[in-house]
Structures are given as C-alpha cells and as structure tokens.
Amino acid sequence: SFNEENGTHLVSVGAIHYEPFGIYPGKSNDLENIADGATIAVPNDTTNEARALQLLAAQGIITVRDGAGLTATVNDIEEIEAAQLPRTVADVDFAVINGNYAMEAGFSVGTDALAIEDASSEAAQTYANVLVVKEGNENNPAIQALYAALTSDTIKDFINNTYDGAVVPIF
C-alpha cells in the first residue's frame, strides 16, 4: 500500500526483526480470569488494531471471525492511540501495546507482558521490519552485503542481548 499511496516501487530485500505486541497488566493481571466488564485497550490504527485483536484471540480472550486475519476490527473495545497506551495501563484492566512503545515506557516484554505475539504469527511475519530498496536494486552486491550483515549472528546476538524481547530477530 505504501507504493500505491506514494507512487514508489520499493521492494523488500528481506525481513530483519519485529517488535512483538504484548498484553500488559493494568488493574488486573490474570488473563485466565478476566472479570465481566473488564476494559482492554488496543491501538486505534488499522494495522496495529488487527495485530492486537489477533493476539487477544490467540490467548482465547476474544473470538475473531474466521478468515478475518489482519483485517479484523473491533466493536466493543476501547481504542487508544498506540503511543498513548503505556500511559493508560493504570486506567484499564489490560492493554495490548506495541513492543517499541512498551520498551520506551520502561516495560520489559520478558517480565511484564502476560502474553506476546509469537514470531511465527501472521502478524509478526507480515509486519516484520524489512530492508527495502528501489525495485531493481535488490540484487546489487552492496545491498546483498548489507542484508548479510543485518542477518548475521552478530546482529542477532546484539538484538537479543540489547532489547530484552522488545525486538526479536526474524531471520
């Protein structure tokens, strides 16, 4: 859609990493016993909202229409701008927060999140951060060398040791 909206011809060289969504506790911290009327906040933009709904569905908290995938929408949940979610955790029972916003707010994906997106999930695979170039440059030796460096064990170890699960290598 970026290419369509901007008149560009960009192509992916390959996936590098993703920032997993997590379900973070607010007023409640037990995903097994969610009270009737509990409030779960999710991002209000289309892409992130669908990812949040998929994570909630993967945990058995909600049911998403068969085939909805990453086009899922909400009917009866509170939507909040993704960047604002960490600030609202105390006001809701649970919040589904993007990995980058959770990390910026001081949350640890590994210890604070009650559940996170799996690296093999449709969302993680679809919305991985990718190395992108103008179409026709994807096989350029310099680009291939950059991709090889970005997908090296050194970079994988750096990501794993630096971001505490908030950034996950996907190569």
Among the listed ranges 25-34, 88-97, 119-128, which one has the minimum average pLDDT value? 119-128
pLDDT digits (tens, 9 = 90+) for 152-167: 999 999 999 998 888 8
Segments of 37-157 assigned E as strands:
40-43, 78-80, 94-97, 115-116, 129-134
pLDDT digits (tens, 9 = 90+) for 112-128: 999 999 888 888 888 89
- How much of the chain, in percent, has pLDDT values that exceed 90? 42
For residues 87 and 41, the answer to whether their CB atoms sit within 8 Å is no
Residue 57 to residue 170: CA distance in whole angstroms: 22
